[in-house]
Amino acid sequence: MTEAVADVKTGAPFTAALVQMRTGLFPAENLAQATKLIREAKDKGADYILTPEVSNIMQENRKALFERLAAEDDDVSLKAFRALALELKVYLHIGSLALKASPERAANRSFLIGPDGGIIARYDKIHMFDIDLDNGESYRESANYQPGEAAVIADLPWGRIGLTICYDLRFPALYRALAEAGASFITVPAAFTKKTGEAHWHALLRARAIENGCYIFAAAQGGTHENKRETFGHSLIVDPWGAIIAEGGVEPGVVLAQIDPAKVVSVRKSIPSLQHGRRFAVSDPKGGPDYLHLVRGSV
């Protein structure tokens, strides 16, 4: 049986900006870089600004990472970003900050900050990036970070926004759940590797927009970082039809686009796949157990 999907609340068109960064090893330097680019985005007319994943530090060495991390209440960068949102009177979405959650684990946490400097929503990255690439690159995010356990959606003046981070992009059920909860926009702040970005970044972002009839805002890290990690860049804004309407390159900078929330309603009316999905079981013809697919079907 088809279940209800949350109504989409739409507002007037607005300007969204993505800040592309090249985060380094020291939070103070990264804060200065981000602040300069956020001010540039505001000067260009942005109403909503998104920064990339780990906007405050990119450090693979565990000892050095934890020496420079602070808990949320003590984090200098977060305090500065809240003050900046208040000063600029803008919705400032910090894609994520690395924060100390315990003596042994960090949190990869996104913050949506309102024009009054208040925190509207927090989201901890659910899916940990633990992979071994065939070019020798190896990443174990779970060695340092604790995964989140809840999807997050929040209200903006122009509609509802769903929060995700980087590797979440490869798990479409999360995006479908956010869309079914009424998200017109879904964010993907990221630090995609150059290799995986070249292969999958554009395809996955367009797919998530098409599957869910929503805008995708994906602010990225780009270039070769101080820790020698190379990220793909190419911050993207994708519209609900799957068209790329703004794209960055590899260098730090600002990408902007005019966003029309009414287009979400139009596209979802044209292809109402959110209304047509059904729960279904996966049966094994050899007599194995049946599995219930807990998220309704996609397009």
Residue-wise pLDDT tens for the chain (299 aa)?
Answer: 345 688 787 789 999 999 999 999 999 999 999 999 999 999 999 999 999 999 999 988 889 999 999 999 999 999 999 999 999 999 999 999 999 999 889 999 999 999 999 999 999 999 988 767 676 666 678 789 999 999 999 999 999 999 999 999 999 999 999 999 999 999 999 999 999 999 999 999 999 999 999 999 999 999 999 988 999 999 999 999 999 999 999 999 999 999 999 999 999 999 999 999 888 888 777 766 666 555 444 43
Catalytic residue at 166? yes
The position carrying tokens 């157990």 is 289
Distances (CA, A) of 279 to 196, 211, 268, 294, 298: 32, 16, 20, 6, 10
In the set 42, 100, 166, 263, the catalytic residue is 166
What per-residue confidence (pLDDT) applies to 3?
A: 56
Residue pair 91/62 in contact by the 8 Å Cβ criterion: no
Torsion of CA 78, 95, 21, 23, to 10 degrees: 60
Contact 98, 108 (CB under 8 A): yes
Active site residue 125: yes
Q: How far apart are CA 237 and CA 244, in angstroms?
A: 6
Q: Which residues contact 246 (CB under 8 A, 6 or more apart)?
A: 18, 235, 236, 237, 255, 256, 257
Domain extent listing, the chain? 14-293
Exactly one of 100, 125, 194, 263 is catalytic; name it: 125
Interior/surface letters 92-130, b for 16+ CB within 10 angstroms, e for the rest: bbbbbbbbbbeeeebbbbbbbbbeebeeebbbbbbbbbe
Q: Of 53, 180, 194, 263, which one is the catalytic site residue?
A: 53
Spatial CB neighbours of 87, under 8 Å, sequence gap ≥ 6: none
This prediction has a pTM of 0.93
Task: State the fold for domain 14-293.
Answer: Nitrilase/N-carbamoyl-D-aminoacid amidohydrolase (3.60.110)
